[in-house]
Structure 1
Amino acid sequence: MAKTPRAAGTKRKAPAKRPPALSAKKAATKKAPTKAARKTAAKKPRKAGAKAKMAAVVSSSGASTPGRLIPDPGSATVRMYRIGHGDCFLLAFPPETAGSDPIYVMIDCGYKPGSPGKIEPPRTMKDIADSIRAATGGHIHLMIITHEHQDHLNGLTQTYFKDFKFGEVWCAWTEDGSDAFANMLRERFNDRLVGLMRARRSLATALDRLSAAGDRDMARAARRMHSRVSELLALEIGGEDDDEATISSFERELSAARKTERPTSRNKTALAFVKDRAENGIRCLRPHERILKVSGTAGVRAFVLGPPRNEKQLLDLDPVGEEEFHIAPFGADASNARTVPLQTSPFAARHSVSLDDSFFDGRHGAFFREHYGNGSSGRDRKNAETREVPDDAAWRRIEHDWMLSAESLAIAMNDYTNNTSLVVAFELGAGGNVLLFTADAQRGNWLSWDRKSFKDGEKKLSVKDLLARTVLLKVGHHGSHNATLNGHRSSKYPSLGWIAAQGDAARQFTAMITAVPAWAKDQPGWNHPLKAIEDALLDKSGGRVFRTDLDRKAMERRRPDDDKKAWKSFLDRTVFDDLYFDYKVPFEE
């Protein structure tokens, strides 16, 4: 939640002219390859390397797609990059002026370290950046940052994007340095982050002591907790490595950032990198304020649905009752329980003493030994066996149960950041199809979407209507249990049941899940995607669910057999590549 470096909407001097890009008009004049030529090309092996990935690919329909991403007239193209366990989307909209370049909108660019290697063939961030450069000519008209998490930001660095030009930057109101409520939330979050860093250090100390004492079971638990807390902290810190040095240095960086107000974490550095290059200004957006026109497009409008400006809703993290997609009744991961509030000890460190040290404290050691005992003393030991409750009973001591609280605090903080996600719906022309990008929004964010309507001229436009016209859904938080609400069309709250509820939208509905299960299964508590959610999406869409790790053959195996015509129509709109999926969405059927 970094402070905005300059006022929203400010202008910069116009950049120098770039070499003319391939326009839609010029692209249309190229001759389509003959059927024989396509067969010959298909037999040739593809060359490895970035150049091959930027070259033309052949879609499932047989149409040639150039390195430059050019949407068809009357359609938008959504490119989902197979970046790993993380989000990176590139949208291409037809321009308002015929013959002009398409308008490119990019949403996030990040991944969890280690996850790209779990996709076949493995890819690198350089491959992704090279592809984006080829697709856009290095010019992103609108860059959207949904929230400050590693798997949404760590690709946006000088290393990969130094020669890119960014037009406007959109982020949530939580990034507005002039917003008192946002600043208060930011300070409170940073305080808790410092507390979590201290808890992580305490876990390391406990691990050393338990190992030295030969307590293998507790040492194993401490090691697992330390690893889990470190993993969750990495999401808040950012960067392309989850190594010990990166995480250990963050507490110093955070302390410096709070004094100098300079972004020093990797997430904040990535955010600042993009903001500093915003040639047409930065907008920190609030939900329901107004309908936004996506500048330069042929009638594309944007509706900001979240995050809510209500702390209670921001802290409302998990679905309840009928809102849930249920996990298996037995064997559910305990980490799904979120029972610890977002707070650390109410006492400052100078008023605290560890349990082990308390027994030998010069001023208070006798009291602790007498009433909480360490097995070596206790008042009236001769009569201890006759007492119903010994003074130094072991159950009086919490001992190492605090380790569970450290993990729960880390999970809760992670979920809180998810719930501050910027949620945007793109409408393809007034009354047209809708693309919904939910980032990692959780329960409170979802429930806030329909609290207000949008003013559309003299009329009111409801969020329920927008969701009913949604034909493409970016599934929340890798398909996790708490980022998609279950429900029906008649439910009183926004849910999957509200989405694609109209006839035309229902027939087109397609979903995108940014998940690599082969990587997630090795992370404690990362059940991504939840099978119940993925199954519901497959059923709702007729099998049209993109997932980062699945190629065309894998998707074919998941499709139903009863509607071959609908599946062919889907394939005709789709390009499968090692680096990305392209999906064409018409403005209206």
Structure 2
Amino acid sequence: MATQRKPTSKKRITTKKKLAAPAGSLGPIKAPGTPQSYRARVRMYRHGLGDCFLLTFPRPGRVPFQMLIDCGALARDAKAMTAVVEHIRDTAKDGQDRARLDVVVGTHEHKDHLSGFNQARKVFNDDIDFGAVWMSWAENLSQADARKLKEAKKVAKAKLEMALSSSFAGAAPLAGVSELLGFTNDDDSIEGKKVADAVAYLKLRGKEAQDLRFLEPGSEPFVEKELPGFRFYVLGPPRDPRFLKTSAITQQMKKDDVIYHLSRMGTAGLDSLGAAVAPGGEGDELCHPFAAEHRIARPVAGQSRTYFAEIQPFVDATYDKPSEAWRRIDEDWLSAFGQLALDLDNDTNNTSLVLAIECIQTRDILLFPADAQVGNWQSWATVNFQVPNRTTPCPAHELLGRTVFYKVGHHCSHNATLKAGGLELMTKDNLVAFIPLDKATASKQGKTGWDMPATPLFNALRAKTKERVVISDVNEQPSAEALQAGVIATPGYIDYFLR
């Protein structure tokens, strides 16, 4: 069982108030209109802002091969996620006494991808067998690189939590930090489990199944013994730290689509931030731009400040005047914590496991990049695969050219699908794109809401797919073009079929 954290009286860090389960049934196990035969079915659940994909591969004379890629959501309670997992269980049973997921994939340590493994833990434990668990190399703590990444995240989280529990917690520059931190550190209200507990649980289930794999980019493509008609390629996450830490899009990148910006706070900056919000001690001095001998301190409870009293009228009429508040910079330095939270979030996204699944007979590709951001995508230009019965290596970019199904990265955010080296390479006439997105939840995040779907990218997807872009939001219905391509929607999920 995953490591349990003891309840604490410390204020919990949460994203948003959790919403109740979506109204209505998730739909039948088999959607009306499902074709008699197909090579693969991709089921996208309509459970909120998060990824939960069940892939079904029919096998003649046998139960289908079932593969679950992530199971999580933001702002969804245990009831909602349990309903989703129960539907997955019933689908995977396929007339058998117990459900079996032949492969379970945990792409990266974010709540909107893994919360269901905490919230519906009882259903997973009691009713569902795991055949194998796949994760990225970044979760393999027997390797030094993975341990270094984990330690860096741990230090960054500690600094952010320190800021949120300090006297500066209510400061405007810290607004939104708790939401971003919640992606990796949120309490799921189920026995105090954190997102890290979901990762530990998946590792445990993989070990119990005697098939826990940490996948490497560019490793030899493999075919599962129980699924001989499909080949799996691992494109990311990259090993090169330059790619792992590249997420920002600069003006130059917008201009030529190939240049990216790397900006990160070093160890010294982290240490200074932590010391600056530490209660008492020398750290307090780091909050002030001038040395003590050049400052006139404000009075505090139980103490008087002789010199401050002399300038009180002036301060009241100028510095503390409400109409002049916009000019004050007392807390502007705290915005560095917001950048740190963004860096932590983006870096975790860039550790996403990226899979391309090839139907060997048709050579068609199903692409699942999780939340991979620009650095992860950029790294694929150097990834090549040694494929059996092929004399030359297969470039990762060739796989993009054969992609017929694209799970749009990071809920269609602006920096999670490249143009050059990405979408422009997807040239198949029958391309379909699925976006796991709940617009209402996205609109409530941060100060002004998240720009999802990002309009320029969404329009590019519409053009590339000839309007075959499908959003999981229950208030969005598939286009006529998507329906003509065989997409089927129910209240609880949307199906795509590879013929």
- Report the TM-score range of the alignment, normalised by the length of the smaller protein: 0.7 to 0.9
Conservation of the 8 A alpha-carbon contact between 1:79 and 1:583 = yes
Deviating beyond 4 angstroms after TM superposition, the runs of 4 or more aligned structure 1 residues are: 321-326, 337-340, 347-359, 375-379
Correspondence 1:17-32 to 2 at 5 A: none
CA distance in 2, matches of 1:104, 1:474: 18
CA distance in 2, matches of 1:115, 1:338: 36
Kindly tell me: are residues 200 and 468 of structure 1, through their superposed partners in 2, closer, same or farther at Cα, counting changes over 3 Å?
same
Deviation track 1:150-193 (CA, whole Å, cap 9, x = no partner) reads 00001013233122100111100011121111111211221111
Conservation of the 8 A alpha-carbon contact between 1:85 and 1:115 = no
Aligned to 1:23: none
Match of 2:124 among 138, 161, 178: 161
Kindly tell me: are residues 325 and 108 of structure 1, through their superposed partners in 2, closer, same or farther at Cα, counting changes over 3 Å?
farther
CA distance in 2, matches of 1:358, 1:91: 52
Aligned to 2:294: 371
CA distance in 1, matches of 2:54, 2:441: 24
Conservation of the 8 A alpha-carbon contact between 1:113 and 1:241 = no
Letter in 2 for 1:517: K
Kindly tell me: are residues 496 and 320 of structure 1, through their superposed partners in 2, closer, same or farther at Cα, counting changes over 3 Å?
farther
Correspondence 1:456-467 to 2 at 5 A: 456-457=387-388, 458-467=391-400
Match of 1:498 among 420, 425, 444: 425
Letter in 1 for 2:247: L
Aligned to 1:192: 156
Aligned to 2:179: 231
**Quick check: which has more Rg, 1 or 2?**
1
Kindly tell me: are residues 229 and 338 of structure 1, through their superposed partners in 2, closer, same or farther at Cα, counting changes over 3 Å?
farther
| 2:261 is aligned with 1:319 | no
- Please state whether the residue corresponding to 2:423 is helix, strand or coil: coil
How far the C-alpha of 1:584 sits from its partner, in A, is 0.4
TM-score, normalised to structure 2, is 0.78
How far the C-alpha of 1:115 sits from its partner, in A, is 9.1
Conservation of the 8 A alpha-carbon contact between 2:489 and 2:495 = yes
- Calculate the aligned-residue CA RMSD, in Å: 3.7
CA distance in 2, matches of 1:156, 1:532: 34
Match of 1:111 among 62, 73, 78: 73
Aligned to 2:491: 578
CA distance in 1, matches of 2:469, 2:245: 30
Letter in 2 for 1:277: R
Match of 1:268 among 177, 196, 201: 196
Aligned to 2:338: 407
| 2:413 is aligned with 1:483 | no
Match of 1:526 among 450, 466, 488: 450
CA distance in 2, matches of 1:422, 1:358: 39
* Percent identical: 32
| 2:108 is aligned with 1:177 | no
Aligned to 1:129: 85
CA distance in 1, matches of 2:266, 2:362: 41
Kindly tell me: are residues 280 and 340 of structure 1, through their superposed partners in 2, closer, same or farther at Cα, counting changes over 3 Å?
closer
CA distance in 2, matches of 1:92, 1:266: 29
Kindly tell me: are residues 349 and 578 of structure 1, through their superposed partners in 2, closer, same or farther at Cα, counting changes over 3 Å?
closer
Aligned to 2:314: none
How far the C-alpha of 1:434 sits from its partner, in A, is 0.2
Match of 1:139 among 79, 88, 100: 100
How far the C-alpha of 1:551 sits from its partner, in A, is 5.7
Kindly tell me: are residues 579 and 350 of structure 1, through their superposed partners in 2, closer, same or farther at Cα, counting changes over 3 Å?
closer
CA distance in 2, matches of 1:417, 1:339: 15
Letter in 2 for 1:159: K
Correspondence 1:229-378 to 2 at 5 A: 229-241=177-189, 266-278=194-206, 279-321=209-251, 323-324=253-254, 341=265, 344-347=269-272, 368-374=291-297
- Please state whether the residue corresponding to 1:578 is helix, strand or coil: coil
CA distance in 2, matches of 1:241, 1:178: 30
Letter in 2 for 1:94: P
Conservation of the 8 A alpha-carbon contact between 2:407 and 2:435 = yes
Correspondence 1:538-553 to 2 at 5 A: 538-550=462-474
Aligned to 2:11: none
Aligned to 1:444: 375
Kindly tell me: are residues 275 and 114 of structure 1, through their superposed partners in 2, closer, same or farther at Cα, counting changes over 3 Å?
closer
The gaps in structure 2 that reach 5 residues or longer are 4-22, 94-98, 299-304, 312-327
Deviation track 1:187-223 (CA, whole Å, cap 9, x = no partner) reads 1221111111111112xx2357xxxxxxxxxx6x26x
Kindly tell me: are residues 232 and 342 of structure 1, through their superposed partners in 2, closer, same or farther at Cα, counting changes over 3 Å?
farther
Conservation of the 8 A alpha-carbon contact between 1:424 and 1:437 = yes
Aligned to 2:37: 72
How far the C-alpha of 1:413 sits from its partner, in A, is 0.5
CA distance in 1, matches of 2:100, 2:76: 29
Aligned to 2:50: 86
How far the C-alpha of 1:113 sits from its partner, in A, is 1.2
TM-score, normalised to structure 1, is 0.67
How far the C-alpha of 1:275 sits from its partner, in A, is 2.4
Conservation of the 8 A alpha-carbon contact between 1:370 and 1:378 = no
Deviation track 1:403-424 (CA, whole Å, cap 9, x = no partner) reads 2111111111011100100000
How far the C-alpha of 1:378 sits from its partner, in A, is 8.1
Aligned to 2:320: none
CA distance in 1, matches of 2:54, 2:199: 18
Conservation of the 8 A alpha-carbon contact between 1:153 and 1:238 = no
How far the C-alpha of 1:241 sits from its partner, in A, is 4.9
Conservation of the 8 A alpha-carbon contact between 1:511 and 1:546 = yes
State which drifts further: 436-445 or 276-285: 276-285
Conservation of the 8 A alpha-carbon contact between 1:314 and 1:420 = yes
Deviation track 1:352-409 (CA, whole Å, cap 9, x = no partner) reads 87799999x9xxx9x8442244376889x99xxxxxxxxxxxxxx9631132111111
CA distance in 2, matches of 1:546, 1:370: 63
- Please state whether the residue corresponding to 1:206 is helix, strand or coil: coil
CA distance in 2, matches of 1:348, 1:411: 15
Aligned to 1:513: 435
CA distance in 1, matches of 2:371, 2:41: 22
The gaps in structure 1 that reach 5 residues or longer are 4-47, 66-70, 117-122, 209-218, 247-264, 327-336, 383-396, 488-493, 560-565
How far the C-alpha of 1:273 sits from its partner, in A, is 2.0
CA distance in 1, matches of 2:401, 2:492: 31
Kindly tell me: are residues 580 and 568 of structure 1, through their superposed partners in 2, closer, same or farther at Cα, counting changes over 3 Å?
closer
Kindly tell me: are residues 113 and 159 of structure 1, through their superposed partners in 2, closer, same or farther at Cα, counting changes over 3 Å?
farther
